[in-house]
Structure 1
Amino acid sequence: MGETLFLAHRVPFPPDRGDKIRSYHVLRALARLGPVHVGTFDDASGYGDQFLSGIAESHYLVPQRRHDMLAAVRAMAKGQPISLTAFAHAGLQEWVDQVLHYRPIDAIYVFSGQMAQYVSPQFPGRTVLDLCDVDSAKFEAYGESGSGPKAWVHAREGRLLATAEERFARAADTTLLISDHEANLFRTRLSSPGQVDIKVMRNGIDAQFFAPEAVAPQPTLFGPGPNIVFTGQMDYAPNISAVERMVQRILPGIRETRARAEFHIVGRAPTPAVKALGRQDGVTVWGEVPDVRPFLAEADIVAAPLTIARGIQNKVLEAMAMAKPVLLSPEAATGIDAEDGVHFAVAEGDRMMVGRALSLIEDRARAKAMGDAARAFVLAEQSWSAMLGGLGELLRPSAETGATTSSAADDPVRNAA
């Protein structure tokens, strides 16, 4: 391959949340194929520039995006999705245009729909759009489940973003979704699905990092239990809803039989509503921790009772790789081709969640067998090398398009921020 331009809405490091885990592994795979230029937005980690300097031929790092009302006001005035307006940046657009003009870019990998606005329709090489999941459907779900002005904004975003997603998919050579479920959902939302090339590229898991033997036991981390653990970014609406469901409707049913059962919420940026859950009996909100693996290692059950879930849940794969029995909703199980009752325990309603949790708590041998089977499944079916094995072929220019002919002479492209 020649050179690749990689655009992402968040700097793909550290790989500590769902989208950044995927973008991190994709970027590393692209860098092994050839020189890669990266345009992305910084976050609060402080590691973005150092990471990109070590992996990219050149990069442009937009300073941390502020979550203010200005982008929303501009989007409302222009009749555009807020998601796109919030990630529009003149400096990044200028850098992208220079890269495409001066460098021999054969392919562009667009990670998330927000970044497709930077790609010129005149680009002659391959364009791959990695939507991961269908964001517009997520906003529609927020709108349907909410109320008041916020629900109206979410419904509007879902409607406008759906139109933009179809436009971007039509312009791309291939559009990637994270699971068959998401791919099929996206097809149903297109006016002419036969005109869009849709493929599935699932998430993988680093099973050497997430491994039972990779962390030392810490038996004093929790009380006698049984201990149930939830992990995730705790300012993310679906995660907030999931832990509220667990604390308010599922844990009380478990504690009727196992009075010492405890629920542990592990993840950065807990909102005030999440922190308030820690005042309930048997609930601990840990917030951000240096390493989530010790918490998983000491769990009796890892729970994922999400009611809104897009794509593949990395939190589920991580717990499975740690050989833990996972209790999850059908929504959280979507996209993972594992078997209910063998590799994890799927429960549809609150009462079923309680029953399956108690069953795993009471039958430790069965719980251990489920955890062992879960890890074996991850090792066999969910490695990153297997998931990304076809990436080079996907990005290779066809004979018809050929490589771009940009010259590197007098190249002004530099690392920028």
Structure 2
Amino acid sequence: MRILFLTQVLPYPLDAGPKVRAYYVLRHLASRHSVTLVSFVRPTDTRAAVEHLRSFCHEVHTVTMTRSALRNGWFFAKSLATGQPFIIERDWTTGMARQVRQLVGADGRFDAIHADQLWMAPYALWAQQVANGASPSLTLDQHNAVFMIPQRMADNERHMLKRAALTLEARKLRDYEIETCRRFDRVIWVTREDYDALQDQTPTNSSVPNSGVIPICGDPEGVAPVIRTPGGRRVTFVGGLHYPPNAQGILWFAKQVFPQVLAQQPDTVLTVIGKQPPPELADLPIPPSNLEVTGYVDDPQPYLAETGAFVVPLLAGGGMRVKIVEGWTWGMPMVSTTVGAEGIRVRPGENLLVADTPEAFAEATVCLLRNQAMADQLAQHGRAWVLEHYNWRTTYRQWDAIYP
């Protein structure tokens, strides 16, 4: 089968959840089919990353994504005028539309078009419209019920105007998401919870397509667990902080949870790993010896080796938090909020700890720092769990029912 695979982020290196999802789906499909990848790229994406993808794809084409505060302001105003969601207005570009049209212009070149995330759905629909003499099937891979992300952020936002803007975006995304899913031949969901959340928003006696639930998976067979130093004092967060729910979550932890941890474990170091950390972190009254904000790092393993507790303090988001799959793969003892662990098959108290209030989260974190045996047991059980349930080499065979 000839598949056109559309992505909003270049799916390599594997430094963000959406990249992990797209990369391993792409790897699986390319092992069985002829896959042409078309992806947006940012200035930080490298030629080496593109060449790596070319090593197993039939073709790889890239289109530059330009972002700026001024452009975002224009697209926000346009969104208000058109009623379209801001993120959809922002990510529609003539360059990508032109590239897609050029590729589908040849008669019958593609049998199927795969849109990775809602952002790329407009391009898949456009491709089907302009396909010359062909009618490729359309598949949408729904990483999230996207409307839930701004809605949950609005629920935790104190600034009145920001809350109103987020609520409006959530409402527009909900309507757009329902309509768009119905225009695809198949819709795959990362979690059942996301499907149910969108289905609950549909009018009575109508439904959103559900062609199956296939979780985000990693490659635990190919990654050895980190050998942790006994008595590690780092409390570590890993995640792209350009993603608003990650920034919101780590600020909540740093402001409301970590001071309670420090009161009981004064030598603990909050270690925040991820690009574009919020400047507000540096202004918090945490002693410099107890806070390390690294920014993006190519290899987090030196920090992970000194980690006593790996934290996932999310208050908003949708889909699956890949950092939990990664944490299990690395062999990390973890504490997560309920939202952070949402959509993932977990066994609280067996393969991670779950806490939702600042007091409970601090207590769980301190427990891991003080109880080496418990931390080791959680890490071992988590590693076994990810090998069984979130291994792309086995779980992604489910995609063969979508692309036979």
* TM-score between both structures, scaled by the size of structure 1: 0.87
1:228 alignment partner in structure 2: 235
1:61 has 2:62 as partner:
yes
CA contact (8 A) 1:205 1:384 kept: yes
1:182 alignment partner in structure 2: 194
1:98 alignment partner in structure 2: 102
2:361 alignment partner in structure 1: 353
Alpha-carbon shift at residue 141 of structure 1 (Å): 2.0
Aligned partner letter, 1:200: V
CA contact (8 A) 1:8 1:112 kept: yes
2:32 alignment partner in structure 1: 33
2:113 alignment partner in structure 1: 108
Question: In the TM superposition, what are the counterparts of 1:293-304 in structure 2 within 5 Å?
Answer: 293-304=301-312
Counterparts of 2:363 and 2:190 in 1: how far apart (Å)?
Answer: 31
Change (3 A) 1:93 1:369: same
Alpha-carbon shift at residue 277 of structure 1 (Å): 4.2
2:346 alignment partner in structure 1: 338
Which secondary structure does the structure 1 equivalent of 2:11 belong to? Answer: coil
Counterparts of 1:45 and 1:277 in 2: how far apart (Å)?
Answer: 32
Q: Which 10-residue stretch deviates more, 48-57 or 291-300?
A: 48-57
Aligned partner letter, 2:96: L
Change (3 A) 1:182 1:249: same
CA contact (8 A) 1:247 1:283 kept: no
Aligned pair partner of 2:152 in 141, 144, 147: 141
Change (3 A) 1:16 1:137: same
Change (3 A) 1:39 1:108: same
1:284 alignment partner in structure 2: 292
Aligned pair partner of 1:128 in 139, 146, 151: 139
Alpha-carbon shift at residue 279 of structure 1 (Å): 5.1
Aligned partner letter, 1:40: S
Alpha-carbon shift at residue 209 of structure 1 (Å): 4.6
Question: In the TM superposition, what are the counterparts of 1:204-223 in structure 2 within 5 Å?
Answer: 204-212=217-225
Aligned pair partner of 1:246 in 248, 253, 257: 253
Question: In the TM superposition, what are the counterparts of 1:252-291 in structure 2 within 5 Å?
Answer: 252-277=259-284, 280=287, 282-291=290-299
Which secondary structure does the structure 1 equivalent of 2:113 belong to? Answer: strand
CA contact (8 A) 2:152 2:315 kept: no
- Where structure 2 has 5 or more consecutive residues not aligned to the other structure, the ranges are none
Q: Which 10-residue stretch deviates more, 368-377 or 184-193?
A: 184-193
CA contact (8 A) 2:117 2:140 kept: yes
Which secondary structure does the structure 1 equivalent of 2:140 belong to? Answer: strand
Counterparts of 1:198 and 1:145 in 2: how far apart (Å)?
Answer: 33
Q: Which digits, 9 at most, give the CA deviation of each residue in 1:261-293, with x for residues without a partner?
A: 221111122131234348545221111112022
Task: Give the root-mean-square deviation of aligned CA atoms.
Answer: 2.2
Aligned pair partner of 2:383 in 364, 369, 375: 375
CA contact (8 A) 1:4 1:106 kept: yes
- Where structure 1 has 5 or more consecutive residues not aligned to the other structure, the ranges are 397-417
Counterparts of 1:62 and 1:333 in 2: how far apart (Å)?
Answer: 34
Which secondary structure does the structure 1 equivalent of 2:320 belong to? Answer: coil
* TM-score between both structures, scaled by the size of structure 2: 0.89
Change (3 A) 1:202 1:306: same
1:173 has 2:173 as partner:
no
Q: Which 10-residue stretch deviates more, 363-372 or 249-258?
A: 249-258
Aligned partner letter, 2:254: V
Alpha-carbon shift at residue 42 of structure 1 (Å): 0.6
Aligned length: 389
1:407 alignment partner in structure 2: none
Change (3 A) 1:64 1:106: same
Q: Which digits, 9 at most, give the CA deviation of each residue in 1:361-382, with x for residues without a partner?
A: 2221121111111111111111
CA contact (8 A) 1:278 1:284 kept: no
Aligned partner letter, 2:137: R
Counterparts of 1:278 and 1:125 in 2: how far apart (Å)?
Answer: 57
Counterparts of 2:152 and 2:365 in 1: how far apart (Å)?
Answer: 27
1:45 has 2:45 as partner:
yes
Counterparts of 2:350 and 2:155 in 1: how far apart (Å)?
Answer: 34
Counterparts of 1:319 and 1:116 in 2: how far apart (Å)?
Answer: 31
Change (3 A) 1:291 1:136: same
2:82 alignment partner in structure 1: 78
RCO higher in structure (CA 8 A, sep ≥6): 1
Counterparts of 1:229 and 1:193 in 2: how far apart (Å)?
Answer: 44
Which secondary structure does the structure 2 equivalent of 1:230 belong to? Answer: strand
Identity of aligned residues (%): 22
Counterparts of 1:177 and 1:195 in 2: how far apart (Å)?
Answer: 11
Which secondary structure does the structure 1 equivalent of 2:182 belong to? Answer: helix
CA contact (8 A) 1:210 1:318 kept: no
Which secondary structure does the structure 2 equivalent of 1:33 belong to? Answer: coil
Alpha-carbon shift at residue 75 of structure 1 (Å): 2.5
